[in-house]
Amino acid sequence: GAVVSQHPSWVICKSGTSVKIECRSLDFQATTMFWYRQFPKQSLMLMATSNEGSKATYEQGVEKDKFLINHASLTLSTLTVTSAHPEDSSFYICSANDLYETQYFGPGTRLLVL
């Protein structure tokens, strides 16, 4: 299957700082990528849909100014958590659809805000 990478795999930051997470499709081009948030033993919550060359589409209740998404190329999307606070601590996962419309997921990023 297709491979999606994420970087970093984990990050610890101080409250008030910004953190950038990268998501790359390694062996295919992805015009659309997705960003999820997951709490322990819970399901994935879709945050936004990242579209190459256009603005991201955010789910209801997700703050656009807090979670900035940039889809710079057909293989790279970034999520920036701005002015992070402890409540932003979570597990963030990205995904992308291959040309067969199957969604593949990155390994996730653990964010801890102190």
Partner 1 sequence: AQTVTQSQPEMSVQEAETVTLSCTYDTSESDYYLFWYKQPPSRQMILVIRQEAYKQQNATENRFSVNFQKAAKSFSLKISDSQLGDAAMYFCAYRRGGAGGTSYGKLTFGQGTILTVHP
Q: In the stretch 93-112, what mask flags binding to partner 1 with x, by CB under 8 A?
A: x-x-x---xxxxx-xx----
Segment contacting partner 1 by CB under 8 A, of 16-24, 40-48, 65-73, 76-84:
40-48
**Residue 8 is a binding residue for partner 1 (CB under 8 A):** no
Does residue 40 have a cis bond before it (omega within 30 degrees)?
no
| Minimal distance, residue 95 CB to partner 1, in Å | 7
Q: CA 6 → CA 21, 77, 110, distances in Å?
A: 7, 10, 11
Of residues 68, 73, 44, 46, the one with CA closest to residue 56: 68
**Residue 53 is a binding residue for partner 1 (CB under 8 A):** no
